[in-house]
Amino acid sequence: MVTRSNIIYSIAAAQRILGIAQRIFEVREWAWVVLVRGPGFCRFMSKKLFKKHFADFRKKQAEKVQLVANPNNSKEFKATGSAGTYTLNAEDKAIKCTCEDFRNQVLSSRLSTALVSMVMQSYLISVLTHFRTT
C-alpha cells in the first residue's frame, strides 16, 4: 500500500541512492532524517536527498512515456508507458493522469495536486508544450 511516507522514502529508493542491491529491511521517516537499516548497517540519510532522488527518478521514467495527441481535444493525450495506456489532460495549472501512480501520489501526498503533477509529469509538460507549438 502506498502511503505519503513510503512513496518518497522507500526501500527501493534507498537502494538506488546507496547504489546497493543488498536487502534493506527498514526505511523509516523521522523528524528531519530517514533511518535506513540493512544487514550489518544502520544509517541516517537526508530527507532532501530522498526528495531530490524522487523528482529525478520520476523525470527519467517520464522520458520513456510516449504521447499521442487527441485530434478532437487539444488538451487531451494518450500516454503509453510500461504500465499501460492512460489519458492525460492538460489543464490550466496542472496535468492530470488516469494512471494509478498519479492517483497514489495525489492521494498520499502532503503536496498540492498541482505540485505533485508538476514533479511527476515534468517531462510530459515539455512534450505538451512542443505539441501546442507545432
How much is the pLDDT for 122? 55
* CB 57, CB 121: distance < 8 Å: no
How much is the pLDDT for 127? 55
How much is the pLDDT for 42? 94
Question: For the chain, which residues make up each domain, given as ranges?
Answer: 1-56, 63-134
Q: Which of 78, 76, 60 has its CA nearest to residue 68?
A: 78
41-46 and 66-70 beta bridge pairing? unpaired
If phi > 0 it is left, if psi is from -120 to 50 it is alpha, else beta; for residue 93 that is alpha
How much is the pLDDT for 4? 61
pTM score of the predicted model: 0.70
How much is the pLDDT for 50? 93
Q: What is the mean pLDDT of each run of 10 residues along the chain (134 residues)?
A: 73 93 90 93 94 86 82 86 83 77 69 48 54 48
Eight-class DSSP state of 85: E
Beta strands in 39-101 (DSSP E): 41-46, 66-70, 73-81, 84-90, 95-97
